[in-house]
Structure 1
Amino acid sequence: MNKKTALSVFHVLYLLAFLSISGSSCQTQSKDGVPKFATDSLVAHFDYFTYKGDDDFYKDNPLPGDDYYYNPILPGWYSDPSICTNGNDYFLVTSNFSYYPGVPIFHSTDMLNWKQIGSILDTPSKLPLDGQRVSEGIFAPAISYNPNNKTYYMITTNIRRGNFFVKTKDPFGEWSEPVWLPDIHGIDPSFFFDDNGKAYIVNNDEPDGGSTYSGHRAIRIRQFDVATDKTFGPSIMLVNGGVNLAEKPIWIEGPHMYKINGKYYLMCAEGGTSVNHSEVIFNGNSPMGKFIPWPENPILTQRDLDPRRPLPITCAGHADLVQKDNGQWWSVFLACRPINDKFENLGRETFMMPVRWSIDGFPYITKGDEVIPRIIRMDGVKRDSTTTFGNFEKNDDFNSEKLGQEWMTLRGPAEDLYSLTANPGFLTLKCADVTSSELKTPAFVTRRLQHHQFESTTSVYFKPYSKSESAGLLLFKDEGHQYFLALGRLKDNSETISLRKIKRGGEVEILASHPLKLGEGATKLKVVSDGTHFNFYYAPAGSSWKLLASNIDAYYLSTANAHGFTGTTIGLYATNKFD
Structure 2
Amino acid sequence: MKKLSLLILMLVLFACQTKREQFTNPILAGFYPDPSICKVGEYYYLVTSTFVYYPGIPVFRSKDLVNWKLISYVIHKPEIFNVEGSRVSRGLFAPSIRYHDGLFYVSCTLIDRGGNFISTSADPEKGWSDPTWFPQVNGIDPSPYFDEDGRAYLIYNSIAPDNAPLYDGHRTIRIIEFGIDSLNAIGEESILINGGTDLSKKPVWIEAPHIFKKDGYYYLIAAEGGTAYQHSEVVFRSRSLTGPYISYEKNPILTQRHLDPKRTNPITTTGHADFVETENGEWWAVFLGCRPYVDKDYYNNGRETFLAPVKWIDGWPVINPDFDEVRYTYDYPLPKAETGSRPQSGNFIFKDDFSTDQLALEWMFLRAPKEAWYSLSDKTGSLNLKVRPEQCTEYVNPSFVGHRQQHLNSSASTSLSLETQKENEKAGLLIFQNEEHFYFLCKSVADGKPVVQLYQSGVKDSSMLLLVSKPLDIATRDIRLKIESKGDQYAFYYATNNVDWISMDRNVDAKFLSTQVAGGFVGCIYAMYATSLGEPSTATASFDWFSYEGDDDVYKQKQ
TM-score (norm 2): 0.89
Residues 1:501 and 2:453 aligned together: no
Q: Counterparts of 1:295 and 1:152 in 2: how far apart (Å)?
A: 34
Please point out which of 393, 403, 414 is paired with 1:447: 403
Give 2:50's aligned residue. 96
Per the alignment, residue 152 of structure 1 pairs with 104
Give the C-alpha shift of residue 401 in structure 1.
1.1
Partner of residue 540, structure 2: none
**1:409-488 alignment to 2 at 5 Å?**
409-413=365-369, 415-488=371-444
Q: How does 1:75-474 map to 2 (within 5 A)?
A: 75-146=29-100, 149-161=101-113, 162-210=115-163, 211-341=165-295, 342-359=297-314, 361-367=315-321, 370-382=324-336, 384=338, 386-413=342-369, 415-474=371-430
C-alpha distance after superposition, 1:172-208 (max 9, x if no partner): 1111111000111111010001122111100000122
For 1:519 and 1:350, the matched residues in 2 are separated by: 47
Q: Distance in 1 between matches of 2:503 and 2:94?
A: 41
> Following TM superposition, by how much is the alpha carbon of 1:383 offset from its aligned partner in structure 2, in angstroms?
5.2
2:523 is equivalent to residue 567 of structure 1? yes
Q: Which amino acid aligns with 1:172?
A: E
Say whether residues 1:71 and 2:5 are aligned partners: no
For 1:503, the aligned partner's letter is G
- Which letter does structure 1 place at the counterpart of 2:108? T
Please say if residues 309 and 320 of structure 2, whose CA atoms lie closer than 8 Å, have aligned partners that are also in contact: no
Give 3-state SS (helix, strand or coil) of 1:499's partner: strand
Shift of 1:367: 4.8
Distance verdict in 2 for CA 1:381–1:508, change over 3 Å: same
User: 1:544 Cα deviation (Å)?
Assistant: 2.4
Cα pair 2:300 2:523 within 8 Å, conserved: yes
CA contact (8 A) 2:415 2:478 kept: yes
Counterpart of 2:393, as a letter, is: S
**Residue 11 (structure 1) aligns with:** none
What is the DSSP-based 3-state SS (H/G/I as helix, E as strand, rest coil) of the residue aligned with 2:511?
helix
Of 510-519 and 363-372, the range deviating more from structure 2: 363-372
Checking the alignment, whether the CA contact within 8 Å between 1:304 and 1:369 is kept in structure 2 is no
CA pair 574-65 structure 1, distance change in 2 beyond 3 A: farther
Q: Could you tell me whether the CA contact under 8 Å between 1:70 and 1:374 is conserved in 2? A: yes
The range that moved more, 519-528 or 463-472, is 519-528
- Measure, in 1, the Cα distance between the counterparts of 2:20 and 2:71: 23
| Whole-Å separation in 1 of the counterparts to 2:351 and 2:51 | 25
8 Å Cα contact 1:112-1:381 kept in structure 2: no
Within 2, Cα distance between the matches of 1:541 and 1:110?
44
How far apart, CA to CA, are the structure 2 residues paired with 1:168 and 1:352?
25
1:556 aligns with 2:509: no
Distance 2:360 2:136 in 1: 37
- Which letter maps to 1:499? L
- In the TM superposition, residue 110 of structure 1 has moved relative to its aligned partner by 2.2
- 1:59-93: per-residue Cα shift (whole Å, max 9, x none)? xxxxx977311110000010000001123211000
* Paired position in structure 1 for 2:549: none
- 1:339-386, Cα deviation, whole Å (9 max, x unpaired): 113431000000001101112x01010459711011010254125375
Q: Give the AA of the match of 2:457.
A: I
Aligned length: 512
> What corresponds to 2:487 in structure 1?
531
Q: Structure 2: any 5+ residue segments left out of the alignment?
A: 1-17, 536-559
Higher RCO structure (Cα 8 Å, ≥6 apart): 1
Distance 1:518 1:291, change over 3 A: farther
Deviation track 1:325-351 (CA, whole Å, cap 9, x = no partner) reads 111111000000001134310000000
Q: Tell me which residue corresponds to 2:503.
A: 547
The 3-state SS of whatever aligns with 1:209 is helix
- 2:14 matched to which residue of 1? none
Q: Displacement of 1:519 after TM fit?
A: 5.9
User: Match for residue 43 of structure 1?
Assistant: none
Aligned to 1:42: none
Alpha-carbon distance between aligned partners in 2 of 1:158 and 1:366, rounded to the nearest angstrom: 32
Alignment deviations for residues 261-288 of structure 1 (CA, whole Å, 9 cap, x no partner): 2210011100000000000000001111
CA shift for structure 1 position 529: 2.1
CA contact (8 A) 2:418 2:427 kept: yes
3-state DSSP of counterpart to 1:246:
helix
Q: Percent identity, please.
A: 42
Q: Which ranges of 4 or more aligned residues in structure 1 deviate by more than 6 Å? A: none
Give the partner amino acid of 2:313.
Answer: S
**Paired letter, 1:186:** G
Whole-angstrom distance in 2 between the partners of 1:462 and 1:88: 49
Q: What is the distance in 2 between the residues matched to 1:72 and 1:369?
A: 16
- Which stretch shifts more, 163-172 or 270-279? 163-172
Mapped to 2, the partners of 1:436 and 1:429 lie a distance apart of: 14
Partner SS, residue 125 of structure 1: helix
Deviation at 1:217, TM superposition (A): 0.3
Q: Distance in 2 between matches of 1:366 and 1:543?
A: 47
CA distance in 1, matches of 2:173, 2:390: 41
Task: Provide the rounded CA distance (Å) in 2 between the counterparts of 1:143 and 1:216.
Answer: 26
**Corresponding residue for 1:50?**
none
Letter in 1 for 2:415: S
Separation in structure 1 between the aligned mates of residue 126 and residue 148 of structure 2, nearest angstrom: 26
Instruction: Describe the superposition over 1:445-487 as per-residue Cα deviations: whole angstroms up to 9, x where unpaired.
Output: 0010001111221111111221110000111000000100011
